[in-house]
Amino acid sequence: MAEIDVTRADAIATVTINRPERKNAVTGDMWAQLAEIFRAIAVDPDVRCVIITGAGGEFCSGADLSARNSTARPMHQLAAMRHVNDAALSLHRMPQPTIAKVRGVAVGAGCNMALGCDLVVASENARFSEIFAKRGLSVDFGGSWLLPRRIGLHRAKELALFGDIISAAEAREMGLVNRVLLDAELDSFVDGWARRLAAGPPIALALTKRMLNNAMNVTLEEALDDEGAAQTVNFGTKDTLEAMEAFMQKREPKFKGY
């Protein structure tokens, strides 16, 4: 059985971490596989939305440290972290909207994988933690970048320095997740969101995602310039024309991605 499953339904790709016996802890080889999968999806014109989730009622318990050699030379540890970083960047760079569907634990790198998605939808039984400090480690998988942008610097420090486990409700209150649902409702809700996103204009959504991801790195003037450039691209596509025609004809647009 594959440790990472990729399935497709229409224009939606679902990436499932599949090691339920280890609460979907990710090995070094799996980080490399995830990076390859994310890069392949990024350039697939037939995929318009991506769902990331875990098997067996858990999201991801982070990196599998059971096989890690604590006496390994620093350069070996650095090389191992490159696979983690590659996966984080590949997830961040995907132009398609991404949804984390979270059940059970999302801790350590697993927590930051969820937060690295554009949208996070959690079951009421989900639990989140930047558990690194309790393992004698610093945050990784982009947590130092993601957390302050999600919830502000002081709350980010609270989560990262204490490493406490928080409930889905607490994560929602902090702004870490978009929705918290009854477990029985999670699949249908995420499927509905994914279908809505997959039916949207791919070029416009990708440009919007890119600008929002870059929002804290630019001035207002630069943001306005980026918006102008994006709209110039959009008005050159058939999708924008289709949207205008659909509006006039009082029907739903059918976007083609060009």
Q: What DSSP letter does each residue of 190-242 carry, written as one string?
A: HHHHHHHHHTS-HHHHHHHHHHHHTGGGS-HHHHHHHHHHHHHHHHTSHHHHH
Q: Which pTM value belongs to this model?
A: 0.94
Domain spans, the chain: 4-198, 202-249
Angle (nearest 5°) at CA 128 between 127 and 132: 135
Place of tokens 């070996």: 76
Kindly state the average pLDDT of the residues 67-94: 80
Rounded Cα–Cα distance for residues 171 and 176 (Å) = 5
DSSP classification of residue 142: T
Is the pLDDT reported for residue 73 higher than 70?
no
Burial of 224 (0-12, 13-18, 19+ CB in 10 A): exposed
Could you please state the CATH topology (level 3) that the domain comprising 202-249 is classified under.
Answer: Lyase 2-enoyl-coa Hydratase; Chain  A, domain 2 (1.10.12)
Give CA 138 to chain center in angstroms: 20
Amino acid 66: pLDDT: 83
Q: What is the three-class DSSP state of 58? A: coil
Amino acid 80: pLDDT: 82
In 3D space, the residue among 177, 26, 23, 30 whose CA is nearest the CA of residue 104 turns out to be 23
Is the pLDDT reported for residue 74 higher than 70?
no
Amino acid 113: pLDDT: 98
Report the percentage of the chain scoring pLDDT > 90: 93
Is the pLDDT reported for residue 71 higher than 80?
no
Rounded Cα–Cα distance for residues 27 and 130 (Å) = 18
Amino acid 161: pLDDT: 98
Rounded Cα–Cα distance for residues 22 and 162 (Å) = 24
**pLDDT averaged over every residue in the chain:** 95
Sign of CA dihedral 223, 224, 228, 231: positive
Amino acid 65: pLDDT: 87
Amino acid 188: pLDDT: 98
Kindly state the average pLDDT of the residues 93-121: 98
Is the pLDDT reported for residue 78 higher than 90?
no
CATH classification for the domain delimited by 4-198, as one of 3.90.226.10, 3.40.640.10, 3.20.20.70, 3.70.10.10 = 3.90.226.10
Is the pLDDT reported for residue 67 higher than 90?
no
Taking CA atoms, 171 is separated from 61, 125, 175, 176, in Å, by 17, 12, 6, 5
pLDDT digits over 122-169, tens only? 999 999 999 999 999 999 999 999 999 999 999 999 999 999 999 999
